[in-house]
């Protein structure tokens, strides 16, 4: 009866060793990713590769490591530009389509992805989906769906930045008020309100 615990001890030791190895492997992956990003983002790396491409001979019969390096540099530069844009601008526009066959405006959707920096990290992005409910009368946009927290008070902010005109569908008339300005929306202010909402939530 006392031999069973002794038999399980080697298994437990192996499991502990496997867990430690997995932890070390994950640490190495993260370090590899960090070093790769640091090296590829360094301007000195760019200059050295450009110089090597101009001075070193190449052979079409063998793989060219400089071509691979140039590809990695291009990909990293694009990623850095995207990250800087998202951190500074905070909002990315995109188009989408509503699959509902009865959707307004033939299902055309304009989306806004809003990235919020909270405690030094980008949280789950919020999304605004805008559509034109009366495309035959006015090009004005209205929020179709969104994932913005209720604590932000999105309706009040949109009335300020994207006011919707008064539409009389029966008469086919539109009473325009202040113009909508999607480009001029102060996304940074909206992000600040979202950070407050996340802290409250």
pLDDT tens per residue across span 36-59: 888 888 888 888 888 887 787 766
In a domain, 19, yes or no: no
Quote the pTM value: 0.49
Mean pLDDT of 148-164: 79
In a domain, 115, yes or no: yes
Mean pLDDT of 85-92: 63
- Per-residue pLDDT band for 189 (boundaries 50, 70, 90) equals low
Tell me the residue range of the domain where 107 lies: 90-200
How far apart CA 77 and CA 80 sit, in angstroms, is 5
Weakest-pLDDT range from 38-42, 118-122, 161-165: 118-122
pLDDT in tens, 90-104: 677 889 988 888 888
Domain tally, the chain: 1
In a domain, 166, yes or no: yes
How far apart CA 146 and CA 129 sit, in angstroms, is 6
**pLDDT at position 122, please?**
64
In a domain, 41, yes or no: no
**pLDDT at position 78, please?**
76
How far apart CA 47 and CA 55 sit, in angstroms, is 12
**pLDDT at position 131, please?**
92
- Contact 92/113 with Cβ under 8 angstroms? yes
Tokens describing residue 60: 């079409």
Weakest-pLDDT range from 31-45, 140-154, 170-184: 170-184
**pLDDT at position 1, please?**
47
In a domain, 77, yes or no: no
**pLDDT at position 129, please?**
92
Burial per residue of 95-132, b for 16 or more beta-carbon CB atoms within 10 angstroms, e otherwise:
eeebeeeeebbeeebbbbebbbeeeeeeeeebbbbbbb
In a domain, 101, yes or no: yes
How long is the chain?
Answer: 201
95: β partners: 110
- Per-residue pLDDT band for 25 (boundaries 50, 70, 90) equals very high
In a domain, 55, yes or no: no
């Amino acid at each position: 009866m006392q031999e069973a615990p002794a038999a399980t001890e080697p298994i437990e030791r192996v499991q502990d060793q496997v867990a430690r190895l997995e932890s070390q492997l994950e640490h190495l992956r993260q370090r590899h990713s960090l070093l790769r990003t640091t090296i590829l983002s360094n301007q000195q790396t760019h200059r050295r590769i450009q110089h090597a491409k101009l001075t070193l001979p190449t052979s079409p019969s063998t793989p060219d490591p400089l071509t691979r390096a140039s590809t990695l540099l291009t990909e990293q530069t694009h990623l850095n530009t995207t990250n800087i844009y998202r951190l500074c601008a905070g909002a990315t526009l995109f188009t989408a389509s509503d699959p509902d066959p009865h959707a307004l405006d033939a299902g055309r959707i304009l989306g806004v992805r809003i990235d919020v920096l909270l405690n030094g990290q980008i949280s789950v992005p919020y999304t605004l989906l805008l559509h034109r409910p009366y495309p035959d009368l006015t090009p004005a946009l209205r929020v179709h769906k969104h994932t913005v927290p209720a604590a932000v008070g999105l309706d009040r902010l949109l009335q300020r930045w994207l006011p919707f005109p008064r539409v009389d569908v029966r008469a086919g008339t539109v009473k325009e008020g202040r113009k909508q300005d999607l480009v001029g929306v102060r996304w940074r202010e909206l992000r600040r309100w979202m950070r407050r909402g996340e802290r409250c939530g």
